[in-house]
């Protein structure tokens, strides 16, 4: 999977143009392409990307409906054609101290309404420098994944995004990312059993066209969650092609 997180970029009127610039060959081929635009763009892109199964959102509420001004429910996203939703992104966690506490309920709402969470986890720089990153990720997974739901490869994608690498120009080496992906898969096996072998684990954090091949070369890196480079069609195509070669 190669997922594009547009964050709060582009205007609704330019959303279709950006997707067209990716090229028709990228849409729902191999690897799987997922486009996660701002909420305001979903209705515009729904008829095309939604029908093709490529549309995702950047967050959802932990509630199904009700008096929750400004919130967007998983059911609303599904009705707009979304198949995926990013949950737990570090930027959301940093802006809202309650975000992490809401993760199990958000995950449960997404899955119950037919969305596959692209669940984000990752450590900040002080934790990495102290050598406590494995303990931190283990605790994050234990706290965030809903115990009452049966997780499987079809309803969960994990994105490892070291916070210190997001939008900074820094990135984990392919070997560092591979080590963490192996660890994450081992923790998922405690919950999901052998099913975790088929769960896609993505890397995110300053992924560019010139470093994507290194990540694609690692056996447990099943794709990438791309931020800024997804707004640059030529760069994004290079990333996509690196993972297309991985599967060939």
DSSP string, 13-42: GGHHHHHHHH-GGGTTSSSPEEEE--GGGH
- Structurally, the chain folds into a number of domains equal to 1
Question: Rounded mean pLDDT of the chain?
Answer: 93
10 Å CB burial of residue 179 (0-12, 13-18, 19+) is middle
Residue in the block written with tokens 């400004």: 70
CA-to-CA distance for 126 and 236, rounded, in angstroms? 30
Q: What pLDDT score was predicted for residue 248?
A: 62
10 Å CB burial of residue 111 (0-12, 13-18, 19+) is buried
Kindly report the CATH number assigned to the domain that includes residue 147: 3.20.20.70
Condensed to tens digits (0 to 9), the pLDDT of residues 67-111 reads 999 999 999 999 999 999 999 999 999 999 899 999 999 999 999
Q: Mind telling me the catalytic residues?
A: 89, 161
CA-to-CA distance for 228 and 110, rounded, in angstroms? 25
10 Å CB burial of residue 136 (0-12, 13-18, 19+) is middle
CA-to-CA distance for 137 and 239, rounded, in angstroms? 26
Determine the average pLDDT of the residues in 42-56. 90
Determine the average pLDDT of the residues in 29-36. 92
**Residue 118, domain extent:** 2-246
Instruction: Give all strands of the β-sheet with 33-36 in edge-to-edge order.
Output: 33-36, 2-5, 224-226, 200-204, 157-160, 116-121, 84-87, 56-57
Nearest one of 122, 214, 118, 127 to 161, comparing CA atoms: 122
Please, what's the largest Cα pairwise distance for the chain? 49
Residue 89 tokens read as 């992104």
pLDDT range class, residue 247, cuts 50, 70, 90: low
């Amino acid at each position: 999977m190669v997922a594009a997180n547009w964050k709060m970029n582009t205007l609704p009127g330019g959303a279709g143009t950006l997707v067209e610039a990716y090229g028709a060959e990228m849409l729902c081929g191999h690897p799987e392409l997922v486009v996660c635009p701002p909420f305001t763009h979903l209705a515009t892109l729904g008829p095309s990307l939604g029908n093709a199964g490529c549309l995702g959102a950047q967050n959802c509420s932990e509630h199904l409906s009700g008096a929750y001004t400004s919130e967007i429910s998983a059911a609303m996203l599904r009705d707009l054609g979304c198949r995926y939703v990013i949950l737990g992104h570090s930027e959301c966690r940093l802006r809202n101290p309650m975000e992490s506490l809401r993760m199990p309920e958000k995950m449960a709402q997404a899955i119950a309404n037919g969305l596959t969470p692209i669940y984000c986890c990752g450590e900040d720089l002080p934790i990495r420098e102290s050598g406590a990153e494995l303990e931190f990720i283990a605790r994050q997974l234990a706290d965030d994944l809903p115990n009452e739901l049966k997780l499987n490869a079809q309803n969960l994608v994990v994105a490892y995004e070291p916070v210190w690498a997001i939008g900074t120009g820094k990135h984990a080496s392919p070997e560092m990312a591979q080590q963490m992906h192996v660890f994450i898969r081992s923790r998922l096996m405690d919950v999901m059993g052998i099913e975790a072998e088929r769960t896609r684990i993505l890397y995110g954090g300053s992924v560019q066209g010139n470093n994507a091949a290194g990540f694609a070369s690692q056996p447990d890196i099943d794709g990438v969650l791309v931020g800024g480079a997804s707004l640059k069609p030529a760069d994004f195509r290079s990333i996509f092609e690196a993972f297309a070669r991985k599967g060939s």
